[in-house]
Amino acid sequence: MNKPSSPSVLIAGSGAVRAHPTRGGPCYLVTIDDQNLLFDCGRCAVHNLSRFGIPVESISETYITHLHFDHICDLPLMLLLSWNNGRSRHMPIFGPKGIGAFLENGLRQAYVADIKSRTAHGKSWDGLDWDTHEIAKEGLVRETDSFIIESLATKHAGLLNYNYRIKTPSSKIVITSDSEPDPRLIEFCRDADLMVVECSGTKEFYDTQAWGGWHMTPEDVGRIAREAGVKKVVLKHLVIESFSKDPDVSEKMAETIRSLHPDGEILVAEDGMLFDV
């Protein structure tokens, strides 16, 4: 691999499924050299990318973790708007089986009148279209001169579900999906410089929710991060904030993780955070 400039990671959406005054849905942008790699495209992704100075037409490739709507609801908008703004090549989209059907139904069919209208007035179809790469099994997803992207499949709500690891010659970044705790995440996150990890709530909170078993607790995250030797842990997908009256609930989860992994730096994500890795 060529030695790229140091990658950066922008938290474009630190929240989860519910509307939140300061947190967009899942969306993270990894920039390596001049490549903008988008991971998930949830609620407010397009709006937040604009707020943080990223034109949607500058996105080079898109990676989707799973097909829960909070992770993909802005994907049709991102494709339509980048087309509108002048994107002239197919967007590569990597994700689980079903992402192609989602875009056929949720974009090509759903917006058939719009597409027909614009292409009839000279807009090139090519700029709207996309190339779907449905990931059949975990492992190597993409390899270029500058980076390698690998996936790990973990359990989450009965869906095909991929966590992503981005490696450059100088850095290792993990962006988890929503996930049940899985001991294989330890090896996947081994010596990572940055782990952007879901921490949707505490065990006490999950016990009150039918879907509580789909996610990781602070204790799960702390154990995985410590055993993997992760340097920086950034908590995202903070569902509990939409239920708890405690304004410090996420910081308290971070404190639990610090007690388990005192050698790591543990942060609660905020929209707009930018990390040079």
Q: Which residues bind Zn ion (CB under 5 A)?
A: 68, 70, 178
Query: What is the C-alpha to C-alpha distance for residues 98 and 90, in angstroms, rounded to an integer?
Result: 18
For residue 141, which of 83, 63, 216, 82 has the smallest C-alpha distance?
63
Comparison of 60 and 242: residue with beta carbon closer to Zn ion? 242
Comparison of 25 and 127: residue with beta carbon closer to Zn ion? 25
Shortest reach from residue 5's CB to Zn ion, in Å = 31
Comparison of 201 and 218: residue with beta carbon closer to Zn ion? 201
Comparison of 135 and 277: residue with beta carbon closer to Zn ion? 135
Comparison of 70 and 193: residue with beta carbon closer to Zn ion? 70
Longest dimension (CA), the chain: 61
Which residues have CB under 8 Å from 30's CB, separation 6+? 7, 8, 9, 36, 37, 39, 166, 173, 175
Shortest reach from residue 209's CB to Zn ion, in Å = 13
Q: What are phi and psi of 142, to 5 degrees?
A: -160, 135
Shortest reach from residue 71's CB to Zn ion, in Å = 6
Query: What is the C-alpha to C-alpha distance for residues 135 and 160, in angstroms, rounded to an integer?
Result: 9
Give every strand in the sheet of 148-153, ordered side by side. 139-143, 148-153, 162-168, 171-175, 194-198, 232-236, 265-268
Shortest reach from residue 271's CB to Zn ion, in Å = 16
Query: What is the C-alpha to C-alpha distance for residues 219 and 203, in angstroms, rounded to an integer?
Result: 9
Shortest reach from residue 53's CB to Zn ion, in Å = 25
Shortest reach from residue 92's CB to Zn ion, in Å = 23
Comparison of 70 and 241: residue with beta carbon closer to Zn ion? 70
Per-residue tokens: 4:
């790229």
Shortest reach from residue 76's CB to Zn ion, in Å = 18
Comparison of 150 and 178: residue with beta carbon closer to Zn ion? 178
Q: Is 173 exposed, middle or buried (0-12, 13-18, 19+ CB in 10 A)?
A: buried
